[in-house]
Amino acid sequence: MAKHKEDQHGACASGIRGEQLLLGALKNNHLSLLNKVEDFECYYGNEGFGREVWSGYKKIGGGIFAAAARAVGRKGQCFVTDGYCPEINVTFEFKYGRAHGTTEEKVHCDLNKLREGVYPDNLWYIFVGTPEKSTHSAYFKMIVEKENLPCRVIFGMEALNEALRTEEEKYAVKLAS
């Protein structure tokens, strides 16, 4: 995998690798990962409807973040998560790395986004690799639990695969009924 010229500390490469791991786990459990408009259009089989669903997904933001964007004259500011699985209605944030760095700082920012309602209520926040063992990741989970924030925190691929298996089984039962 080629490193981007501007990717001096490897964050982009880690993000790409993390997305590949997440996509693989979902595919192994017969689930979809949507994050680009084309993914939504293909999944929903209708360009107009797929684009409409994507637009709602993409516009994650609100509360004080939307007010801050308006205060500085910005329109259309939003956060884009690492993907959405329509079969189980889960939105993903996936933190993967092989070194310490930006993920450790980003989790503190993401806690504020959770508190302010920027993320949807169906968020799974997944730590894989170095972030699994980070003090910052453990802190993140403790705060999510202490403040009862709408987020499921998962450490490691094994735990992710187990959670996906459980949700996929529920989805299969729902389809059968």
Report the alpha-carbon distance of residue 12 to residue 147 in Å, rounded: 31
Give residue 46's pLDDT: 79
Which token pair is 114?
């959770």
Give residue 177's pLDDT: 76
Give residue 172's pLDDT: 82
Q: What is the dihedral of CA 34, 39, 40, 43, to 10 degrees?
A: -100
Which token pair is 127?
């730590």
Give residue 37's pLDDT: 86
| Residue 114 phi, psi dihedral angles, 5° rounding | -65, -45
Percentage of residues in the chain having pLDDT higher than 90? 40
Give the residue from 130, 149, 65 showing the smallest Cα distance to 140: 149
| Residue 99 phi, psi dihedral angles, 5° rounding | -145, 165
Give residue 7's pLDDT: 43
Query: Residue 170, Cα to own-chain centre: how many angstroms?
Result: 21
The pTM of the full predicted model, rounded to 2 decimals, is 0.82
| Residue ranges in the chain whose pLDDT is less than 50 | 1-5, 7-10
Q: Give the H/E segment covering residue 90.
A: strand 90-97
| Residue 49 phi, psi dihedral angles, 5° rounding | -70, -45
- Could you list the beta-strand ranges (E) of 31-134: 83-85, 90-97, 123-129
Q: Is 56 exposed, middle or buried (0-12, 13-18, 19+ CB in 10 A)?
A: exposed
Give residue 73's pLDDT: 76
